[in-house]
Structure 1
Amino acid sequence: MRQQAAGQRSRRQTAPSGRALEQKVKEATQLETIPDDVDSVTDIRNELEFAQWYNEVEESLLEASYDEYQACLQELQMSKSHLDSLLTDTSSTLDLLTSLSNDFRAVESQTSQFRKQCEGLLSAQKHDSDLAEDIQENLQYYDFLDPASRRLNAPGAGNTVRGKEFSDMLRRLDECLDYMETHPDQKEAGVYRSRYRLLMTRALTLIRTHFVSSLRDVYADASKKIADKQLNDTTMSTLLYAKFRVGAPELKQIGLEIQKRAVPPLDPDQGTEAEYQSLLNELHANYAATRGKLIIPLVYKNLNDLAQSPTSSQDLVSFARASISYIRGVCLDEFELWGEWFHGHGGLYDFLETICEPLYDHLRPRIIHEDKIVKLCQLCTLLQTRYLLDQDEDIEQQVDANQLDFPALIQPALEDVQTRLVFRAQAFLRDEIERYKPRPEDLDYPARNKQFSISVTEGQISGRKITSTDTPTTTTLPTRPKSTTKPSNDSDPSSTNPEDTTTTAATKWDLESPTTQDQSGWYPTLRKAIWLLSRIYRLVNVHPTPILPHNQPTYKLTYKQTSPPSSTTSPTKSCTKPRPPYTAPAPSCAQKPPLPTRTSSSSATS
């Protein structure tokens, strides 16, 4: 196809249509210019001559046109050779292009293979890089062991616990421990975990040592200045509180490092102590012991001064009011100072209970030796109304965590008073009601009622206006305990004679509605029982007290004593049967839940 196309192109170039016409014109011109030496046609005489002439003419014509043909032949040969060279070049070019195409395909194939190999190498490189990064990231948790060990075991390592680098190191130790615990399948993870735990214990021990040392230095400075000379209240307050507040923020911050790691176990039923909780307990114990050396002697001294004061030395309620107010102020100051040294209240109330020990040492003997029920009731009322939360308010309002829970501290004193009050009430029931021997005039109710009617009639005849208190009414007990400011002559009915109970009943019973005339007609044990119930109403808890009206032993004893002997008969039998005494209703409010008590407190004995 290509050779035919090349031949067609060469023929169009070497044999144009205008060349044949030009050749014919030349031949005609040559025929006209025949050489002169050729004989004319007229000289031909026979056929032989004509044949000779024709051959000569033909040869001359051939000779005349040979150059032209030769030139055309040469031109054609040249064209042919040129076309042959073109065909050769085209064939070689096609071969070259074919070779180039093959080479291109080979290069393309090689390039594709190379690209795939490069992609494989890049993928392997990325995998190796990621693996190296993972190894480096995991290895850093192992490499941190040596520098941390050198730093914590270096001389003077305890002096660096306040720096930020030490906190960063503790954070890195936490991260390493967490990593070892979350990757237990890695080789030697258990070994490194135990080593890191030892380093953490070492670091927190350094914090504990520095904390205790700093606290000891502050105590030594303050105690030395206190022992040197007599100080006024302002200077004493500066030494006891202001001096302890100077370095408290930094020590609180490093103590927080232990508190953050004193995490309770995940399973509280195991009974195991929180990790590093013992170190935190040591901080609390050292602080409490240091403050106790400064505060407790001062508390003893001030309480002894209050005990020897003329206004409170003989009166239990006055001494309790003054001493508890003083102790409450000290506890509030220590509560605020504790908040500047520690986060939270763990161990705080144990320390405050040790501060309250001098108060219990002074109050408990006075409570045990106090025989007057009135005084015990006044003290119990003082503690319940001033220092303890109301039962209804305690249910509706919870104690703020940022405020001192002083009721929890004063609860042991209230329990001592209640125990003594229960004991005295039991003794009063036994001596004045259960063992009471009725007299004939106590059982002669017709005469007593007649005397009472005569006194009422005389009052009406005399023109005196009968008030609501002059008419017999039903006794109602007070809904709340009375104030502590009771008359000093309000003593137990057991301390007076039965004949004198009528004249002094109003001042001794402290009831609201009955008058002396109403009480004069009552049976003696009934008067005493209602007096006792009106005193202890809501002052003692239901569960530890066997004499409350809920169990009604008082009613049974009173009814037993008011019943006449079986051998004695009376003509007015229907009138001598005493009325059942009044029993106080059960308290309508819910029983207050017990507050936390001190483990070291012992119950009061008689």
Structure 2
Amino acid sequence: MGSRAQPQNLPNSAAISRGYNFASTWEQNAPLSEQQQAAIISLSHVVSERPMPVKLAQENVLGQDNGLSVSTKDSSGDDAVTIEGVLVNTNQFYKWFTDLESTLKSETDEKYQQYVNTLTERIQTCDDILQQVDGTLDLFNELQLQHQAVATKTKTLHDACDRLVQEKQRLIDFAEAIRSKLNYFDELENVATNFYSPNMNVGNDNFLPLLKRLDECISYVESNPQYAESSVYLLKFRQLQSRALGMMRSHVLAVLKGASSQVQGAIRGSGGNKAAVSEGVEASVIYVRFKAAASELKPILEEIESRSSRKEYGQILAECHRLYCEQRLSLVRGIVYQRISEFSKKEALPTLTRSGCAYLVQVCQLEYQLFDHFFPSSSKEISSLAPLMDPLSTYLYDTLRPKLIHETNIDFLCELVDILKVEVLGEQHSRRSEPLAGLRPTFERFLADVHERLTFRARTHIRDEIANYIPSDEDLDYPEKLKRTVDSISEINSADDNQDVFKTWYPPLEKTLSCLSKLYRCLESGVFTGLAQEAVEVCSTSIQKASKLVAKKSSPMDGQLFLIKHLLILREQIAPFDIEFSVTHKELDFSHLLEHLRRILRGQASLFDWSRSTSLARTLSPRVLESQIDAKKELEKSLKATCEEFIMSVTKLVVDPLLSFVTKVTAVKVALSSGNQNQKLDSIMTKPLKTQAFATPDKVAELVQKVKAAIQEQLPMVITKMKLYLQNSSTRTILFKPIKTNIVEAHIQVGSLLESEYTEEEIQKVINMISIQDLQTLLDNLL
């Protein structure tokens, strides 16, 4: 048994080694998962204990006697089967070993071979399937290409169908468009047939629809001149339109004439009483009956107004306006003329203007209401009623103008301006009513004529009543006129004090201020400024002339106070006028013409040298001289000069002895300072001043007494006269203040001389001059 054990171990070792190598190589080339490896390990244990194949077992039995005995133990069952064999030689052993190894290998690889066979079969199956799939795919690709070709053909067919459908629709639309356009041209025959039908007239129900269709055809043909024969069709359409508009005009005229005939028949049926007829302009027969008779025109006129934006209908509308106004004018003209003529015979110009304008405004309002009934859309046009209202307003203007030309009363003319501006035009403006707009040009024209006439009469008044005024003795009876007025005012306390005050004024002043106060609200600012400047200038000149006459008749002081009084009044009264009293005068100056002509005749200048200043053009061109005159400033200047003259005259009246004394002393001192070498004069200068003949204390005392007497006697008389002429105390105070200053200044100067040249005793006892403080108190008490 010991000899058998070793041979059994060798094959097992080789088989295990080769099996290991195979398994290692297989593992490297085809790695298994852990689960698969575990299964293989389990199988390897089972396989290693399997028995020898039957064939090998039999061969081993047969060869036991010849050689080496080998046995294999089958451990597949519980009982062990031992196959024993005898290996005679080495070849048998190797053959046996080889067979054993092949058998083991075959048994070991069988499962893998079966798996490989299975995989090979499946791969073959897959190859077959892939070949079938490839064939199927080829068929599918071919089918897809065929489908794409069919889809392309189908889409092309659909697109072609869509294009055909669109083309069909376009052709249908085109045909419809041509048919719609041709309808306008085809309407010519239809419209012409209807319009030329003997039964067709404006009152026919089909007239207005046919006219509307005709207008549409004309508008279309006008907007498409590119169509063939469009001009021919347009001409024919316009001929039909002219025929239709002519029918409308004839119809409107016939209806208006019929309405006018009815109204005139109703007026004649009133018995022909002129008084009754004159009241008919406000009566219903003129308006209500006419409105009722002409109501059938309203649809036609409204249709015309709705299309008035077109030239043809605008013309026919204007023609209807004219026909309407002509018929209305034939009805109301005679009545209005008669009424205005009655006013003209009975009333003065202002009353006639007021009544005539009010009556014409009433007629205009009634006519506008009636006109608005027929022409509601175009009644707001001012010119629509012009053919009716212009003749009526012109007749009123022609009635008023002759009376205006002969009117000379400025008060009446100013009243006319107020009536026209306030009552007529102002009331129209406040109402803002369209009916009266047609009368405004006539009223404004008449107002301009009134302004022109008023301006002319104002200039005439200024020239005749102010500039050329010839004063009477009573006008120059100053200061007696003032004294009488003061006495009358003190005796009678009445409400006419202002009138009494006006009586004390110089008539040209009163006329000037009265005229300006009337003209201020009546004339335009520019015109009034010129008149005011002229009036103030002329009035100032007239007052200055009168003051000289008063000075000759009464006294120079009366003349001065007269001038101051009236210039102050004039300045005060023109202050409220909000104007500039400055006027620029322009005049042509030809004074240089003679000198230029002389130079040309002497050959010093050329007549045809246009480049020099001595040319003919420059020679014959006048120079424009401008001069600005400010009447208010001239008035201030005259007033200031007069006041200064009065102040100096009063100052001289009171302190003239002192002024003469100061003048003599000043002259002596000036002569002394000039260094005159005349011995006689030198001898005089060397003596004291009080030794001079004109400056002895007694002479100075005499002068001082004269001044005192003048202050106590003559100065109060001056103050009284100032109070008589100048009623305003503040004015007297202002005027007396420089007089007082001059008197005090004269005393101060003399007092200074006395202190320097005379002793205190001579001043106090001999001269006895009043102190400055007492003098000021005395002068203050005078006012």
1:583 maps to what in 2?
Answer: 574
Q: Any idea what the Cα deviations from partners look like across 1:103-143, whole Å, max 9, x if unmatched? A: 99998787666544433332221111111111112222222
1:494 maps to what in 2?
Answer: none
Give me the whole-angstrom Cα distance separating, in 1, the residues matched to 2:145 and 2:453.
Answer: 118
Contact 1:452 1:517 in 2 (8 A): no
Instruction: Please give the residue correspondences for 1:174-573 in structure 2 after superposition, counting only pairs within 5 Å.
Output: 174-230=215-271, 232=276, 237-263=283-309, 275-308=312-345, 313-342=346-375, 343-344=378-379, 345=381, 346-389=383-426, 394=429, 399-401=432-434, 407-438=440-471, 442=475, 448-449=478-479, 451-452=481-482, 455-456=485-486, 459-460=489-490, 470=497, 515-542=498-525, 545=527, 552-564=533-545, 570=552, 572=556
Q: Any idea what the Cα deviations from partners look like across 1:475-523, whole Å, max 9, x if unmatched? A: xxxxxxxxxxxxxxxxxxxxxxxxxxxxxxxxxxxxxxxx133212322
Contact 1:389 1:407 in 2 (8 A): no
Q: CA deviation at 1:339?
A: 0.8
Change (3 A) 1:574 1:292: same
Q: Secondary structure at the match of 2:545?
A: coil
1:119 maps to what in 2?
Answer: 162
Give me the whole-angstrom Cα distance separating, in 2, the residues matched to 1:162 and 1:521.
Answer: 83
Contact 2:547 2:563 in 1 (8 A): no
Question: Given the alignment, which residue of 139, 147, 152 partners 2:182?
Answer: 139
Q: CA deviation at 1:186?
A: 3.1
Change (3 A) 1:153 1:548: farther
Give me the whole-angstrom Cα distance separating, in 2, the residues matched to 1:403 and 1:365.
Answer: 24
Change (3 A) 1:152 1:435: farther
Q: CA deviation at 1:338?
A: 0.9
Give me the whole-angstrom Cα distance separating, in 1, the residues matched to 2:186 and 2:254.
Answer: 33
Contact 2:258 2:293 in 1 (8 A): no
- Of 137-146 and 416-425, more deviation after overlay is shown by 416-425
Paired AA for residue 520 in structure 2: Y
Change (3 A) 1:454 1:282: same
Q: Any idea what the Cα deviations from partners look like across 1:65-101, whole Å, max 9, x if unmatched? A: xxxxxxxxxxxxxxxxxxxxxxxxxxxxxxxxxxx99
Q: Any idea what the Cα deviations from partners look like across 1:353-385, whole Å, max 9, x if unmatched? A: 222333234323333333322223323322333
1:595 maps to what in 2?
Answer: none
Q: CA deviation at 1:166?
A: 2.8
Give me the whole-angstrom Cα distance separating, in 2, the residues matched to 1:548 and 1:377.
Answer: 17
Contact 1:549 1:584 in 2 (8 A): no
Contact 2:337 2:395 in 1 (8 A): yes
TM-score by length of 2: 0.47
Change (3 A) 1:230 1:526: same
Contact 2:191 2:210 in 1 (8 A): yes
Higher alpha-carbon Rg: 2
Contact 1:533 1:584 in 2 (8 A): no
Give me the whole-angstrom Cα distance separating, in 1, the residues matched to 2:506 and 2:280.
Answer: 64
Paired AA for residue 424 in structure 1: R
Q: CA deviation at 1:242?
A: 1.5
Question: Given the alignment, which residue of 179, 183, 192 partners 1:149?
Answer: 192
Contact 2:286 2:331 in 1 (8 A): yes
Q: CA deviation at 1:215?
A: 0.8
- May I ask how many residue pairs the two structures share in their alignment? 421
Change (3 A) 1:129 1:378: same
Change (3 A) 1:567 1:558: closer
Q: CA deviation at 1:204?
A: 2.1
Contact 2:364 2:436 in 1 (8 A): no
Give me the whole-angstrom Cα distance separating, in 2, the residues matched to 1:370 and 1:353.
Answer: 25
Q: Any idea what the Cα deviations from partners look like across 1:316-335, whole Å, max 9, x if unmatched? A: 33333333333222222111
Give me the whole-angstrom Cα distance separating, in 2, the residues matched to 1:587 and 1:354.
Answer: 40
Q: Which has the higher helix share?
A: 2
Q: CA deviation at 1:410?
A: 3.2
2:672 maps to what in 1?
Answer: none
Q: CA deviation at 1:452?
A: 1.8
Paired AA for residue 227 in structure 1: R
Identity over aligned residues, as a percent? 27
Change (3 A) 1:197 1:541: farther
Question: Given the alignment, which residue of 154, 165, 182 partners 2:206?
Answer: 165
Q: CA deviation at 1:199?
A: 3.1
Give me the whole-angstrom Cα distance separating, in 2, the residues matched to 1:110 and 1:320.
Answer: 100
Change (3 A) 1:122 1:379: same
Q: Secondary structure at the match of 1:538?
A: coil
Contact 2:340 2:396 in 1 (8 A): yes
Change (3 A) 1:116 1:519: closer
Give me the whole-angstrom Cα distance separating, in 1, the residues matched to 2:331 and 2:159.
Answer: 83
Contact 1:306 1:319 in 2 (8 A): yes
Change (3 A) 1:224 1:565: closer
Change (3 A) 1:180 1:518: same
Contact 2:365 2:435 in 1 (8 A): no
Change (3 A) 1:534 1:551: closer
Q: CA deviation at 1:297?
A: 0.9
Change (3 A) 1:280 1:113: closer
1:87 maps to what in 2?
Answer: none
Give me the whole-angstrom Cα distance separating, in 1, the residues matched to 2:147 and 2:511.
Answer: 128
Contact 1:149 1:199 in 2 (8 A): yes
1:51 maps to what in 2?
Answer: none
Paired AA for residue 244 in structure 1: F
Contact 2:547 2:562 in 1 (8 A): no
Contact 1:327 1:356 in 2 (8 A): yes
Change (3 A) 1:441 1:226: closer
Change (3 A) 1:585 1:262: farther
Contact 1:549 1:585 in 2 (8 A): no
Paired AA for residue 135 in structure 1: I
Change (3 A) 1:432 1:108: closer
2:60 maps to what in 1?
Answer: none
Give me the whole-angstrom Cα distance separating, in 2, the residues matched to 1:254 and 1:534.
Answer: 58
Structure 2: gaps of 5 or more residues: 1-142, 580-783
Contact 2:259 2:290 in 1 (8 A): yes
Change (3 A) 1:522 1:551: closer
Give me the whole-angstrom Cα distance separating, in 2, the residues matched to 1:103 and 1:428.
Answer: 123
Give me the whole-angstrom Cα distance separating, in 2, the residues matched to 1:558 and 1:321.
Answer: 35
Give me the whole-angstrom Cα distance separating, in 1, the residues matched to 2:531 and 2:458.
Answer: 15
Q: CA deviation at 1:258?
A: 3.5
Paired AA for residue 376 in structure 1: L
Paired AA for residue 134 in structure 1: A
Q: Secondary structure at the match of 1:263?
A: coil
Structure 1: gaps of 5 or more residues: 1-99, 265-273, 471-514, 589-606
Contact 2:404 2:450 in 1 (8 A): yes
Give me the whole-angstrom Cα distance separating, in 2, the residues matched to 1:522 and 1:189.
Answer: 89
Change (3 A) 1:327 1:400: closer
Q: CA deviation at 1:147?
A: 2.0
